[in-house]
Chains A and B, each alone.
Chain A
Amino acid sequence: MIWIRTVAGAVLTLAALIVGGCAPTEAPDPRAGLPPAPWISRAIPEARGEIKVLPDGKREAVRYKGWTKADFGKFRTYAYDDTRPEPRPGKAPMPAIAGDPKKGRSLFLARAKGPCTGCHLIQGADVWPAGNVGPDLSTFGDRGLPDDYVFNQIYDPRHVFPNTTMPPWGTGGVLAPDEIVHLVAFLKTLKGPAPPEKDRERDPNTRPKPPGFGDNLDPTNNPAVGRAEAAEALWAKKGPAGAKACADCHAGGPAKAMKGAATRYPKYVTQYRRVMSIEDLLTVHAPETTGMHMLAQSAENLDMTMLVKMASNGMPVAVDLSTPEHRAAFERGQANFNKRVGQRNHACADCHTPGSGRGADRFLGGRLLGNVENGLTRHFPTWRTSQAQVWDMRKRMQWCLTPLGMNMLPADAVEYAELELYLTSFDKGKPISVPGIRH
């Protein structure tokens, strides 16, 4: 026995040597903290990211009410088992048809096709709201660029700018080659000088930043506060298993028993052998202890999460990033933050990091993009005034990439949890304020 063990140990050491390369002694395990078996989602059906095959063979995604049902299965995702490489820059010959600038303009503004105005400003009072993630194209025609250069630039800009945030419209299949010809014809008509701006809010460079929605902890201002307080009844409710309630083990009421708990999440939970947020933990911890189901994205789960997090309001986020599990999870989250995914071939970093050609603190259409360095997570779950719903970080992540053509993962997926850990690392030391209120 001893001999076998020794041999196995030797083999492992050798493997570590190979993986670790020139630093063999303290080679960190890149898989540390990952659950040993595939995680079984405990989310409500519309939050599981499932794909349904219809009787006619068509594939339809199961998503939340009102979300697109399109299947983006051919584009890569954040899933750790999705090892497909980034699609290579595509090229197509420019069709020999006459471009129609009028068609091009309507394509430039078409929501279903981009829209180009989400990032680029052009002239015209009907172009509202335009964004400023990409360059201002108001006088693009004056540059006199050749047609096929502009065509290729739209078809797949990576030929010219390998690290651009602009999506490969042709390679991804959002725009057909004929449509790009119309866009090229339209762009050539954009001549200067641009007339003086009448509406200061039309131009994203002069548009004032949104002022917010006031005190997020005022129940007369934020409807989510009332919902969170409603979870106090759930806290005291006896579940079917052993007639136990949250209150039976966590004594002293949620405000006392849960004080500071939320500052440590997302964290690696040894019992479940993965990184979890409070939402994730409730999906397994509540049924195991009380027998009550708290599926991810269910009202019970969101309300209870808010109640638990409210007990840490005002306290600084203190996520642990020191253990090997946390360290590896942080690195995987960071890798996904920078991984280009989906039909638009976007990474989170494209829109949420600052810098030239990046989106943070700029307008995407009328929406101001968040800056990851300011911390994006400490007000979640948050009331969304535009949806009249409470959204947690996961639904926000699922939503973020759905219009950008990535099939969403289950709400309680490990990939999201570790991405959330990476995002939360920027909130470290800043006070929690839940529930938030945002557009």
Chain B
Amino acid sequence: MAEIGRVRIRIPSSIRQGDIVKVRVLVIHPMEIVERKDGKPVDKNYRFINRVLVTYLGNEIAQFETTQSLSENPFFSFAFKATEPGALKVTFLDTHGGKYEGTADIKFS
């Protein structure tokens, strides 16, 4: 899978102030899984996303801790209350120090 770390954010096309907005986020990532032999992992240096941070208007509004049990190209969905226009930023951190960011501009119609 090419282009590891491409972040895609989907928000509803029209948002009104005060709405509860459902956000869908997808990141291109292999999410390597643990291979086991005789019950033990064969190599511990797997590359997978272990932290997801969500900031809105510069404030952190959510944090997720994730494990390699997620599929490749993981997809997250969450809701938040849109109080002011501004940037919604989602940051994915992986076990190899990778940092992938995506931003959606929250505008009111």
A binding-site residues for B, Cβ under 8 Å: 218-221, 223, 226-227, 229-234
Contact = CB atoms under 8 A, between A and B. Distances in A.
A219 B9 CA distance: 9
Contacts of B1: 226-227, 230
Interface of B: 1-3, 6, 8, 10, 24-26, 28, 73, 75, 77
Contacts of B73: 223, 226
Given A218-B10, A219-B8, A233-B3, A226 B25 contact: no
B3 A230 contact: yes
Contacts of B24: 218, 220-221
List the 6 closest pairs (A to B, CB-CB), nearest first.
Answer: A233-B2, A220-B24, A220-B26, A230-B2, A219-B8, A220-B10
A232 B26 contact: no
A229 B3 contact: yes
B2 A232 contact: yes
B10 A226 contact: no
Contacts of B2: 229-234
Contacts of B25: 220
A221 B10 CA distance: 10
26 contacts: A218-B10, A218-B24, A219-B8, A219-B26, A220-B8, A220-B10, A220-B24, A220-B26, A220-B75, A220-B77, A221-B24, A223-B73, A226-B1, A226-B26, A226-B28, A226-B73, A227-B1, A229-B2, A229-B3, A230-B2, A230-B3, A230-B28, A231-B2, A232-B2, A232-B3, A233-B3
Nearest to A234: B2
Contacts, number: 32
A223 B28 CA distance: 10
A246 to B, nearest CB: 14
Contacts of B77: 220
Contacts of B75: 220
Nearest to B75: A220
A234 B77 CA distance: 30
A230 B26 CA distance: 14
Contacts of B3: 229-230, 232-233
Of the listed residues A218, A223, A226, A229, the one surrounded by the most CB atoms of chain B closer than 10 A to its CB is A226
A259 to B, nearest CB: 22
Contacts of A233: 2-3
Contacts of A220: 8, 10, 24-26, 75, 77
A103 B38 CA distance: 47
Of the listed residues B2, B10, B73, the one surrounded by the most CB atoms of chain A closer than 10 A to its CB is B2
Contacts of B26: 219-220, 226
Nearest to A218: B10
Nearest to A233: B2
Nearest to B9: A220
Contacts of A232: 2-3
Nearest to B77: A220
A220 B76 CA distance: 9
Nearest to A236: B2
A232 B1 CA distance: 10
Contacts of B28: 226, 229-230
Contacts of B6: 229
Contacts of A230: 1-3, 28
A231 B73 CA distance: 15
